[in-house]
Amino acid sequence: MWPPISRNVIFPLHERLMHRPTFALLREIEASQWQSREQVSDLQARKLGQLLQTAWEHSPWHRQRMETAGISPRQEIDLETFRRLPTMDKADARENVDRILWREVPGGAFRYNTGGSSGEPLIFYFGRSRQAADAACRMRARRWWGVDVGDREVYLWGSPVELSRTDRIKTLRDRLMNQLVLNAFEMSLDAMDRYIDAIRDWRPRCIYGYASSLSLLAARARETGRDLRMKDLRVVSTTGEALYPHQRQLLTEVFGVPVSNEYGSRDAGLIALETPEEQLAINSETILLEVLDANGQAVADGQIGEACITHLCSEAQPFLRYRTGDVVRRSTESDRAGRGLEILGEVQGRKTDFVVRADGTVMHALAVIYVLRDIHGVGSFKLIQHQAREIEVLVVPADGWGETARAAVRSGLTQRLGELHLEIKEVSEIPVEGSGKHRYVVSHVTLPGDLDGAMRE
């Protein structure tokens, strides 16, 4: 599709049909980003007041907590007052969803699951404004790098085992939007060689995907002497996990363009994106970030603490003072380009690993996380791949765990990984790594050639 048609017709029509105010919000945040930090803070306060009013009226669980904390949406709310509200965590969101969710939210509420590497699945709901907010913030960040809506993009992303009719319709939609989606869950050597050819033929302006999957593809291109330096390409954007310095260097060398990393999660939202000035700019118009110590008290800028997120567009299921478990540091710097956005100095994110099929196909860990997280009865889990055909799964049982759930684990993993020796163990808790970090998918399988070095920390 000719980019101007995709940009000015297809994209806006799609968002209008989906009842998402994406482009209206995009216009707003492209203007507000150039306001002063104080003006952006005032905007946050206004949106926070509106969100608290919504939570008071439609989320009994939040209203009860607000009443206990002496907070009324009729009063003017500043951050100090807001901090009287206790924090919430994933268990709170999971156990109280029926008392938090506003099912009649305009535009509807849509069910999602968390992915990532937490090992503790969470079912929650988005409204249209939350979807629009994350999309608009990503569009704005693309423009920082010279990539506009409707320009050709490649997505190295996960996909289901079988393509349904709906998925085929999505593929057609993606092409109308100039998006080429490649499957990060099927990365055999042959598949990666096909992906390299497809990317060269597509001539993208942006390449987007999981940091480890893109690094794996880049290592394969370098190993086989394939050139991925394309004249139209402006940026490689990574997401979903930590981006290590050696991976950034590899991607820069292979693709010949800068790398922009983003930080966020499905439940907490799209939090920050990297600018051409090499800073992580927080989406301050949609995200209120607090950095807390172990006692729940705010730390000074420049100090390490836990990211506590309030998504200002989460009306369907409000996330108010939501503790993410991620360790971050807010920077004392201002935005070097003059934006009024806050700057995130450091993210100590969890590591997402990979798994390997018996035929040598490398799959992003989300391929198996997607299976395990949606099985009723699985509280939390850890999958350990000792050899290509030898898998151990630790499960902390929840309500509903039993033979049916065990069979679902076996069936789902076999469908993803092929025939294998699978041992399922019930445990009372998931142990952490020696480093103290949580990794819920760990593979001890060595990849061939340069591929292993691209995937390891």
In order of start, what are the domains of the chain with their CATH numbers?
3-132+265-348 (3.40.50.12780), 146-257 (3.40.50.980), 354-455 (3.30.300.30)
What local confidence, expressed as pLDDT, does residue 450 receive? Answer: 63
What local confidence, expressed as pLDDT, does residue 232 receive? Answer: 96
pTM for the whole thing?
0.82
Phi-psi region of 53 (alpha: psi -120 to 50; beta: other; left: phi over 0): alpha
Query: Which pLDDT tens digit goes with each residue over 234-288?
Result: 999 999 888 888 899 999 999 999 999 999 988 899 999 999 999 999 999 999 9
What local confidence, expressed as pLDDT, does residue 348 receive? Answer: 78
pLDDT category at 162 given cuts 50, 70, 90 is very low
Determine how many CB atoms are found less than 10 A away from the CB of residue 263.
22
Poorest-confidence range of 253-257, 275-279, 325-329, 402-406?
325-329
| Alpha carbons 451 and 187: distance in angstroms, whole number | 11
**Nearest Cα to Cα of residue 322 among 99, 63, 94:** 94
What local confidence, expressed as pLDDT, does residue 161 receive? Answer: 47
**Nearest Cα to Cα of residue 438 among 380, 351, 370:** 351
Mean pLDDT of 60-72: 95
Poorest-confidence range of 193-207, 276-290, 309-323, 412-426?
412-426
Judged against a pLDDT cut of 70, whether residue 120 lies above it is answered with no
Mean pLDDT of 200-208: 97
What local confidence, expressed as pLDDT, does residue 31 receive? Answer: 97
Q: What percent of the chain has pLDDT over 90?
A: 62
As a dihedral over the C-alpha atoms of residue 415, residue 418, residue 419, residue 423, rounded to 10 degrees, the angle is -70
Judged against a pLDDT cut of 90, whether residue 344 lies above it is answered with yes
* Backbone CA torsion sign across 9, 202, 260, 174: positive
